[in-house]
Structure 1
Amino acid sequence: MRRASSLIAYAIACCLGWPAQAQDYPAHPIRIIVPTQAGGVSDILSRTFANKVQNATGATVVVENRTGANGVLAADYVAKSTPDGYTVYLGFQGTQSVLPHVEPKLPYDPTRDFAPVVLLATGPAVLVVHPSMPARSVKELVELAKAKPGAYSYASAGFGTTHHLAAEMFKLAAGVDLTGVTYRGAAPANQDVIAGHVPIEFDNLGLAVNNIRSGAVRPLAITAKDRSPLLPDVPTMAEAGYPSVIAQSWFAFFVPAKTPRPAIDWLNRQANEVFSDPAMRDQFLRQGLVLPLGSPEFLGQHVAEETQRWGEVIRKAKITLPN
């Protein structure tokens, strides 16, 4: 009886202690774990957040780049970290929505091991072709591909990337047979498309804009629900007749599951304040990115929808990890 009373008293004390802990947060440096090298979108978003929050609140926020295994190393590290709000993961569609469908030995569970914080940025892909391709619309490209099944190839920046999955989604929707050519990164993929070695690519919008404006590639459609201000004359895939082809890269903050809600709310509030600034939104828009922001629940719903979307594509296209 005395032990039960002690446990109840301890539980009450813990509950009563949360408000004080919330007031103290953050009392220690916050680490943002980024799964990519310095200089990429994930890194830029994280360092922008860190610098702005430090200047506004005085809190110490540091960014650590932990690369390897398509982001799995970084994601697993955060998933197994202490859930106290001081370790944050800059997650993306690969580690949170794609890999669970193709990697049976994934060391973490994206749903069980993480708590959502905020959806920072999304960026669509754009379907481009080399200027030597006679197709000037998605319809004409489909007609060419159906006339010569397997004769045309597309370049992708790597397995499970937006380049790769958007192309496979398009193949399913249009009923065409295109051969995938996988590269180690966007740069070599773009180079071979520009050189004409591979005629088709679903490139990230921000990376493709300069090549489009220079005439190095011809845009046919973007994989977003709405047209982009960067390419106002380029139709969406829905306008081209394929409304199901919606593919976007996205980046978001997550923390380990069971992180106290006051810490999650603090991080969410800071991110919304930092990235709601009009100048900040314009800066990232020029890179082809939209900043949705919103609540942790909004991010949770987004991840669930993306996981279902890519799961269906992966199953129907019979996509498996390369040997």
Structure 2
Amino acid sequence: MRVKFLSVLALVCLQALAPAVKAQAFPQKPIKLIVPFAPGGSTDMVARLLAERMSPILGQSVVVENRAGVGGVLGADAVAKASPDGYTLLMGTVSTHGASPAVYKKIPYDAAKDFEPITNVMSVPSVLTVHPKLPVKNLQEFVALAKASPGKYSYGSPGNGSLGHANVENLLQLAGIKLLHVPYKGGGPALNDALAGQIDALTDNLPSTLPHIQAGRLRPLALLSPQRSKLLPDLPTYKESGYPDLDEGGWFGLLAPAKTPRAVVLRLNEAAHQAMQDPAFKARAETIDGIAMANTPEQFGDQIKRALARYQRIAKSANIQID
């Protein structure tokens, strides 16, 4: 009986140690980090920066793969349906876990239930710019110009239902103005037409537009961020310009498929936070005005819930809905 008891006790102890052993053993092969947007954008930039720093910490390559389409939906869905083993991750954004679920009638994943949040990584402000031909120097003057001629002036977005579309529509509601929406197939074409003066206004992540602002090819009016940019210290935020509801910029966070083991989630959280402390990571983040957003899986989950609620409210009030 004593031998049998000791055998059972040993089995119980081994089962209790299993999660810790599994966490120590992870990863045993390269990890795929899916970016749900095209190469070269802010999401891609942050993902590659994180992957480069996480690889030596984990002892395995973290390989970035771009799967663009439908406002980030295609890439996010691929991760939602992947094996929950920690080897396929998503660089999620306010688009994949905020705007897109709010505006698309049919979306193949549940942003709240089909993922395990790991950690937020970085927040990057977006900026409203206009072509220099417009006789405005700040947001108040732009609003006055638009009110004087409803529907005359245009703004571009990366597409119907995109984050840029939702954010500008939110401004239009709050300011009581009308602009002509010109949707594009991606942020690049919208930026090109903004530079050419084919559209009057554009909202985009600051890293994408900063070189053109500095060269005088675009004029910044307001920053979507809780604080001013170190790169454009004279540019006021939306809140400072009279729109306190517009105070959160875009963020980029790490997610895994739902039911990924807790021990694996925590190992990835630890590795990501360690990577974000790397001096090279911090230095690169400063060049794009990125704000580190390291947090727990639970805190990141709460951020996602708030983003979903906010953009559902915007989509409903602006009647933005896509089949």
Q: Unpaired runs of 5+ in structure 2?
A: 1-9
Q: Is the 8 A contact 2:99 2:311 kept in 1?
A: yes
How many pairs align?
314
Q: Unpaired runs of 5+ in structure 1?
A: 1-8
SS at match of 2:291: coil
Are 2:107 and 1:80 equivalent residues in the alignment?
no
TM-score by length of 1: 0.89
- Distance in 1 between the 2:38 and 2:144 partners? 40
- How much has 1:185 moved relative to structure 2? 2.0
Structure 2 counterpart of 1:19, which letter? A
- How much has 1:247 moved relative to structure 2? 4.6
Give matches, 1:82-161, under 5 Å. 82-161=83-162
Q: Is the 8 A contact 2:220 2:235 kept in 1?
A: yes
- Distance in 2 between the 1:146 and 1:87 partners? 48
Assess, with a 3 A threshold, how the Cα gap between structure 1 residues 211 and 40 changes in structure 2: closer, same or farther.
Answer: closer
Assess, with a 3 A threshold, how the Cα gap between structure 1 residues 251 and 18 changes in structure 2: closer, same or farther.
Answer: same
- Distance in 2 between the 1:236 and 1:61 partners? 35
- How much has 1:314 moved relative to structure 2? 0.7
Structure 2 counterpart of 1:56, which letter? I
Q: Is the 8 A contact 2:36 2:69 kept in 1?
A: yes
Cα deviation digits, residues 224-264 of structure 1 (max 9, x gap): 11100010000111111111123522211111112111111
- How much has 1:169 moved relative to structure 2? 1.0
**CA RMSD, aligned part only?**
2.2
Structure 1 counterpart of 2:292, which letter? L
Tell which deviates more after alignment, 164-173 or 89-98: 89-98
- Distance in 2 between the 1:222 and 1:143 partners? 18
Assess, with a 3 A threshold, how the Cα gap between structure 1 residues 30 and 106 changes in structure 2: closer, same or farther.
Answer: same
Q: Match of 1:66?
A: 67
Q: Match of 1:305?
A: 306
SS at match of 1:91: strand
Q: Match of 2:187?
A: 186
Are 2:200 and 1:199 equivalent residues in the alignment?
yes
Q: Match of 1:245?
A: 246
Aligned-pair identity (%): 39
Cα deviation digits, residues 127-147 of structure 1 (max 9, x gap): 212222122121111111111
Q: Match of 2:5?
A: none
- Distance in 1 between the 2:273 and 2:167 partners? 29
Q: Is the 8 A contact 1:153 1:198 kept in 2?
A: yes
Tell which deviates more after alignment, 211-220 or 191-200: 191-200
TM-score by length of 2: 0.89
